[in-house]
Structure 1
Amino acid sequence: MIPQIQNPYRGIYAATLTPLDDRGHIDETRLAGHFADLAAVDGIVGVLCNGHAGESFLLDREERRRVTQIAKQTIGDRAIIVSGVLCEESGEAGRHAADAREAGADAVLVFPPFSWALSQDAAMVLRHHRLIAAAADMPMMLYQASVGAGAMAYRPELLVGLAQLPGVVAVKEGSWEVGAYDLHRRLLAREAPHVAMMASGDEHLFPCFAIGSEGSLVSLAVLMPEAIVALDRAVTVGDLPTARRLHDQIQPLAVAIYGTSPGGHATARLKACMALLGRWPNGQARAPIVTLPPDEIDALRRALIVAGLLDGDAGENAGP
């Protein structure tokens, strides 16, 4: 549900996970609870489902549609539902976008195909987004990938061209580098001021919020939504001591999940944290995502304790 207010997309969105049962199927009851728990947090304006953290690239078309449908059925009356679209072929991406609309999404977020890390050109990127926009016929968000993601990270002039396409309302800015974020924010403020720039590098929330942001779509919010909302609010009102305190609480967990090699373990780490916190019975992910070794579980447990999410004594006995 998109609110009828000025700057309706502004705010903090949780980039959700996809819980699986012991057979590797989507646990629909637990997924609905996941959406409901997050939407109940004051300051969480919506969810991004079918994103990277939600393992969308490992879900088939029907599973992605079902994830969006469950979000709509569970929280569609009180939260904005953004559904990710990640496909290599533009026609297939368009069909997924149409599925998202029919399942109840309020907007789609278009992820660059993974093959673009090797090569792409501006005409290809623009055509892909135009075809998806035509098929979806609904608000569209862009994804600015990490500076380390090869050609998946759009050049500044290409990002401007995409932002000027009809229907584009926001950018999930995940450059993972504060200087690049600042450049992109300034550029779009000049060339496409109607597009919300959302700082979404989980390890860089404090400095990017301080530079300026219309919100964020982050998977770390599934673990500590209250702290991330509070950080955004503290920066907005200029309460620097509170913002620093919250940063000290958030950052060790952000680094343990996203800043530790290999980066491909991030989703497994998020799911392991859900299990360590007792929110889910398991942290199962789909192959080829791996089961984490004990030392990574221990590091996550320590980071959860620092974040104030897990009691130190109880954490010693908690399992993933």
Structure 2
Amino acid sequence: MKYKKSEAKGYARENFRGVWAATATPFCDDLSLDEAGFRRNMRHWAQTLQLGGLFVCGKQGEFFSMSVAERKRTFELAVEEAAGHCGIVTSCSDTNLDVVLDLARHSQDIGADYIVVHSPVLHFHHDAEATVYEYYRHLSEQLDIGIALWNHPDCGYVMSPELCARIAELPNIVAIKYSVDRALYARLTELAGNKIIVSTASEEEWLDNIVELGWRLYLCSTPPFLLQTANDQRINEYTRLAFEGKTAEARQVRNSLEPARAAFRSARPSGTPQAYTKYWMELLGQVGGPVRRPLLNLTEAEKAATREAFARSGLAK
């Protein structure tokens, strides 16, 4: 590891910053892991797009349809390709705690910068706070690597800002991907912004959060590699301008991306987001490939609609 457990918060404060993207995992036609394709994508994201870091094997990466061995291998490939170019946070989320710890220890051993662990899946709960606190306290006790929390309403409950702030007291809890209403993440920033790096997945809110909340980390979703190309890196550009205090210029650049955002939203099917992401990646020249069950691939009609939307996005220039 690049830091001691006691140094995790300070290391993250200095290095866990900028635009981080959530990676997709390419599979071959026979649904095996496409290692060469993943390496190619990693080089594009880390070197051509010069992203601050990558969030590997999360929901966008279809971790739920991958074996533990495949997840570990994907971590290894990511760390190898990112070395010297960008940071890596590995998604160790799982319903089984032993798997979480196994993936986390592997991440420590191979030199990942941080791990991210989703709040636990709970059934029939009435008050999740004590359970969730103990879950993260145990992880913090068992591990040395910096841990990012991850919570959103899809899991059945929302962690309160007060609970997040309490967990933030733990020594190697460094960040949170808090996909909730702005009032909640603004409250957590106020409560514990000096102890935990707060972020949310929405690219459209990123600039306002830099300006109004003083944020320095976008963690993270797919727009950094779906709305940027080798010759068009406006997310990176408006981020840089905002960090430099050039707010008016940053807003101009951010707003100029709206046609691309609108085009992307216009054809996205409600039931196959990962397949849509992968096909859009292919239109950009990246490696996508099929999705694994239980997910569905795009129909030919959905692919045609995607191509039409992509043509309107202005990203093909």
* TM-score, normalised relative to structure 2: 0.83
- Alignment partner of 1:210 is 2:191: no
Q: How does 1:276-315 map to 2 (within 5 A)?
A: 276-280=283-287, 282-294=288-300, 296-311=302-317
Q: Per the alignment, do residues 27 and 260 of structure 1 end up closer, same or farther by CA in structure 2, a change over 3 Å counting? A: closer
Q: How does 1:104-253 map to 2 (within 5 A)?
A: 104-115=111-122, 121-146=128-153, 149-151=155-157, 153-175=158-180, 177-189=181-193, 193-212=194-213, 213-217=215-219, 218-225=221-228, 226-236=233-243, 237-250=245-258, 252-253=260-261
Residue range with higher mean Cα deviation, 54-63 or 93-102:
93-102
Q: Per the alignment, do residues 222 and 294 of structure 1 end up closer, same or farther by CA in structure 2, a change over 3 Å counting? A: same
Aligned AA (1:309):
L
Q: What's 2:7 paired with?
A: none
Indicate conservation of the 8 Å contact 1:181/1:208, yes or no: no
Q: What's 1:314 paired with?
A: none
Q: Per the alignment, do residues 188 and 252 of structure 1 end up closer, same or farther by CA in structure 2, a change over 3 Å counting? A: farther
C-alpha distance in 1 between matches for 2:144 and 2:110: 14
C-alpha distance in 1 between matches for 2:262 and 2:118: 22
Indicate conservation of the 8 Å contact 2:268/2:276, yes or no: no
Report Cα offsets for 1:23-76 as digits up to 9, x if no partner: 101100111111111111465221110111111121111111101001112222
Secondary structure of 1:109's partner?
strand
Q: What's 1:59 paired with?
A: 66
Indicate conservation of the 8 Å contact 2:145/2:172, yes or no: yes
Indicate conservation of the 8 Å contact 2:42/2:81, yes or no: yes
C-alpha distance in 2 between matches for 1:105 and 1:169: 14
Q: Per the alignment, do residues 75 and 258 of structure 1 end up closer, same or farther by CA in structure 2, a change over 3 Å counting? A: farther
Residue 300 of structure 1 and its aligned partner are, at CA, apart by 3.5
C-alpha distance in 2 between matches for 1:197 and 1:102: 26
Question: Among the aligned pairs, what percent are the same residue?
Answer: 23
Residue 99 of structure 1 and its aligned partner are, at CA, apart by 2.0
Q: How does 1:27-106 map to 2 (within 5 A)?
A: 27-41=34-48, 43-106=50-113
Secondary structure of 2:33's partner?
coil
Q: Per the alignment, do residues 271 and 5 of structure 1 end up closer, same or farther by CA in structure 2, a change over 3 Å counting? A: closer
Report Cα offsets for 1:257-287 as digits up to 9, x if no partner: 599662x53222211101222322x531111
Gaps (5+ residues) in structure 1? 312-320
Indicate conservation of the 8 Å contact 1:2/1:8, yes or no: no
Aligned length in residues: 303
Q: Per the alignment, do residues 260 and 36 of structure 1 end up closer, same or farther by CA in structure 2, a change over 3 Å counting? A: closer
C-alpha distance in 2 between matches for 1:297 and 1:188: 44
C-alpha distance in 1 between matches for 2:301 and 2:185: 33
Report Cα offsets for 1:149-181 as digits up to 9, x if no partner: 531x21121111222221011122322x33333
Secondary structure of 2:297's partner?
coil
C-alpha distance in 1 between matches for 2:297 and 2:171: 42
Report Cα offsets for 1:209-243 as digits up to 9, x if no partner: 33332211222212235222222223332332442
Aligned AA (1:171):
I
Indicate conservation of the 8 Å contact 1:24/1:284, yes or no: yes
Secondary structure of 1:180's partner?
helix
Q: Per the alignment, do residues 150 and 248 of structure 1 end up closer, same or farther by CA in structure 2, a change over 3 Å counting? A: farther
* TM-score, normalised relative to structure 1: 0.83
Indicate conservation of the 8 Å contact 2:263/2:312, yes or no: no
Residue 20 of structure 1 and its aligned partner are, at CA, apart by 0.3
Residue 90 of structure 1 and its aligned partner are, at CA, apart by 2.1
Cα RMSD after superposing both structures = 2.9
Indicate conservation of the 8 Å contact 1:163/1:195, yes or no: yes
C-alpha distance in 2 between matches for 1:135 and 1:258: 45
C-alpha distance in 1 between matches for 2:146 and 2:226: 27
Q: What's 2:6 paired with?
A: none
Indicate conservation of the 8 Å contact 1:86/1:110, yes or no: yes
C-alpha distance in 1 between matches for 2:266 and 2:136: 28
Secondary structure of 2:223's partner?
helix
Gaps (5+ residues) in structure 2? 4-10
C-alpha distance in 1 between matches for 2:262 and 2:142: 36
Indicate conservation of the 8 Å contact 1:47/1:80, yes or no: yes
